[in-house]
A and B are shown apart, each in its own frame.
Chain A
């Protein structure tokens, strides 16, 4: 089992991402409204105002999506994410990663 974490900066793609998850067999996730460091530093801490250009592309808000997935879902999820979001390396797109999990309880069995 793995924990999939997606920090989605293109929040307008949220519905498509969740639809993509469903297509990849991921039927559950937790979504949190979040805010990026770049936005806070450049817009809310005045001393860094002169270096705002370093955080170009930082969106005011993003979404963090967590999902516990079986190992076999990892590749399909990343494949569908690339189709929906394009190159995640582009600024302002998002970050996705997985973490191996030692123990998981509470998941509904797949149907």
Chain B
């Protein structure tokens, strides 16, 4: 399992606006739509918020992984957004969240989503990916960083 292949430079959004959970997700989705990376943005936003209603996807260490299963998303879609000043995303450790991995998967293939989520959890726990992302200066650097950190966890 490698997710660096899913994250090219266009999927990385620097300097997202802070705000509450709904605003951050709405801004994230809007920017992805502006880049023509997603369609059905209303459905996606609703599904993301629906998932958040089950419990926050904010992990520890300043990262959240908002995710949803969408019927019309054929292949796993991954994007990364950074809120430099941090935002309250109801994280597990009650600390601000700075880095967002947004994950969309096909609703008929939840097993793929489960694998990617588990991989991201391990990446966050076993590497310094989040710290390093916050210090990154451009998308290419983040892609290389992800590749390097994934190498460490096999």
Q: B51: which A residues are within 8 A, CB to CB?
A: 49-50
Closest to B67 in A: A50
In A35-65, the 8 Å CB interface with B consists of 45-51, 53-54
Q: B110: which A residues are within 8 A, CB to CB?
A: 51, 53-54
Q: Is B59 an interface residue (CB 8 A)?
A: yes
Q: Is B68 an interface residue (CB 8 A)?
A: yes
Main secondary structure of the interface of A (DSSP, over half): helix
Q: CB < 8 Å: which of B57, B68, B69, B111 contacts A47?
A: B57
Q: Are A46 and B92 in contact (CB under 8 A)?
A: yes
Interface size on B, residues (CB 8 A): 18
Q: Are B55 and A49 in contact (CB under 8 A)?
A: yes
Interface size on A, residues (CB 8 A): 9
Report the separation of the CA atoms of residues A87 and B59 in the bound assembly, to the nearest whole angstrom: 39
What is the 8 Å Cβ interface bit string for chain B, positions 18-62, against chain A (1 contact, 0 not)?
Answer: 000000000000000000000000000000000100111101000
Report the separation of the CA atoms of residues A48 and B115 in the bound assembly, to the nearest whole angstrom: 11
Q: CB < 8 Å: which of B56, B57, B92, B114 contacts A54?
A: B114
9 contacts between A and B (CB under 8 A): A46-B57, A47-B121, A48-B114, A48-B118, A49-B51, A50-B67, A51-B117, A54-B110, A54-B111
Chain A residues packing against B (C-beta within 8 Å): 45-51, 53-54
Chain B residues packing against A (C-beta within 8 Å): 51, 54-57, 59, 65, 67-69, 92, 110-111, 113-114, 117-118, 121
Question: A46-B92, A54-B114 are known contacts; what are 10 more A-B pairs with Cβ within 8 Å?
Answer: A45-B121, A48-B114, A48-B117, A48-B118, A49-B51, A49-B54, A50-B51, A51-B113, A51-B117, A53-B110
